[in-house]
């Protein structure tokens, strides 16, 4: 049997092997007894006590042959997203942890765009594991503390930062949290990046938030495994897509800043006109007083 069998336990196969072997032995004994040439004077007792040790021996051989390869396969295989794992204890309303996922620096833009599109697809939905809103992608400096954003002036290469607000299912519990994904150099190997995720509870009961947040994090780990299955062309497409989003957001920021500057200059001009009028009025009154004198 393959070590990757989906059977919950190998014990049924051991029982089947024992029963089938017992039936084969009975069938062979009956065939030999029918010949009466090679089986003359032999009587088979199927309920004798020596049969029981042989049954247990067959079961043990089947169990060992299945359990050992399964154990070795589980040790070298990539852990499944459904494998049990424990969350760290939250500090107040905040839960911070590092996901067991490493990426290269050139992959971060593609992964950021991939996750952004995934969370955008969950906006304004009333089914599934969660619903999202206020999704934004930015950059932060890995050489600064978490939460300090340096922009493009940093000495090190900027890392992707994704933030969103998430409502967790079941939605009638009213659990809402702020999610922040920070891509930063790995502590064990700075040549790669790891993902630090911070969950900030904004509404809902604390125990329910901690319990159902595990499903949200497991879904995130599943999406990262799906990213690994994409071909190089698809990953490059997402990387270019994030650059387009970054350029469009920068253009919108510049466009919004220009009317603000124009509005500021208009207000300054409007403020300067009454001041000039008051000065002109004072000069006129002074000249009239001189003429009267």
| Token duo for residue 199 | 């969950």
Out of 3.30.530, 3.40.30, 2.60.40, 3.30.70, select the CATH number for domain 94-240. 3.30.530
Answer for the pair 222, 202: CB distance below 8 angstroms, yes or no: no
Residues of the chain whose pLDDT is less than 50? 1-8, 81-82, 145-156, 254-257, 259-293
**What integer pLDDT is reported at residue 151 of this predicted model?**
38
**The whole model's pTM is what?**
0.57
**What integer pLDDT is reported at residue 85 of this predicted model?**
66
**What integer pLDDT is reported at residue 274 of this predicted model?**
43
The alpha-carbon radius of gyration of the chain (Å, integer) is 36
Those residues whose C-beta lies under 8 Å from the C-beta of residue 170, and which sit 6 or more positions away, are: 212
**What integer pLDDT is reported at residue 71 of this predicted model?**
77
**212/109 Cα distance (integer angstroms):** 29
Those residues whose C-beta lies under 8 Å from the C-beta of residue 202, and which sit 6 or more positions away, are: 93, 165, 176, 177, 178
For the chain, give every domain's residue range.
11-76, 94-240
**What integer pLDDT is reported at residue 156 of this predicted model?**
45
**What integer pLDDT is reported at residue 193 of this predicted model?**
92
**What integer pLDDT is reported at residue 1 of this predicted model?**
39
**161/176 Cα distance (integer angstroms):** 20
**What integer pLDDT is reported at residue 122 of this predicted model?**
93
**What integer pLDDT is reported at residue 165 of this predicted model?**
95
Best CA proximity match to 94, nearest among 186, 219, 184, 213: 213
């Amino acid at each position: 049997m393959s070590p990757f069998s989906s059977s919950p336990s190998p014990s049924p196969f051991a029982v089947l092997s024992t029963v089938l072997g017992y039936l084969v032995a009975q069938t062979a004994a009956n065939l030999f007894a029918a010949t009466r040439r090679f089986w003359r004077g032999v009587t088979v007792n199927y309920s004798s006590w020596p049969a029981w040790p042989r049954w247990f021996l067959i079961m043990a051989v089947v169990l060992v042959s299945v359990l050992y390869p399964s154990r070795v396969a589980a040790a070298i295989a990539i852990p499944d997203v459904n494998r049990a794992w424990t969350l760290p204890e939250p500090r107040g309303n905040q839960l911070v942890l590092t996901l067991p996922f490493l990426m290269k620096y050139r992959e971060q833009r593609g992964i950021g765009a991939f996750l952004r599109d995934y969370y955008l697809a969950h906006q304004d939905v009333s089914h599934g594991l969660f619903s999202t809103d206020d999704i934004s992608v930015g950059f932060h400096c890995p050489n600064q503390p978490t939460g300090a954003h340096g922009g493009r002036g940093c000495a090190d290469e900027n890392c992707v930062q994704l933030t969103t607000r998430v409502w967790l299912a079941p939605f009638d519990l009213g659990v809402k949290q702020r999610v922040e994904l920070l891509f930063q150099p790995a502590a064990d190997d700075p040549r790669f990046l790891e993902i630090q995720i911070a969950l900030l509870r904004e509404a809902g009961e604390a125990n329910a938030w901690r319990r159902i947040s595990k499903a949200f994090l497991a879904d995130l780990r599943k999406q990262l495994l799906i990213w690994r299955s994409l071909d190089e062309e698809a990953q490059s497409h997402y990387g270019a897509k994030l650059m387009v989003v970054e350029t469009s957001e920068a253009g919108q920021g510049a466009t919004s800043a220009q009317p603000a500057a124009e509005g500021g200059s208009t207000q300054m001009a409007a403020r300067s006109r009454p001041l000039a009028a008051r000065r002109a009025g004072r000069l006129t009154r002074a000249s009239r007083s001189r003429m009267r004198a």
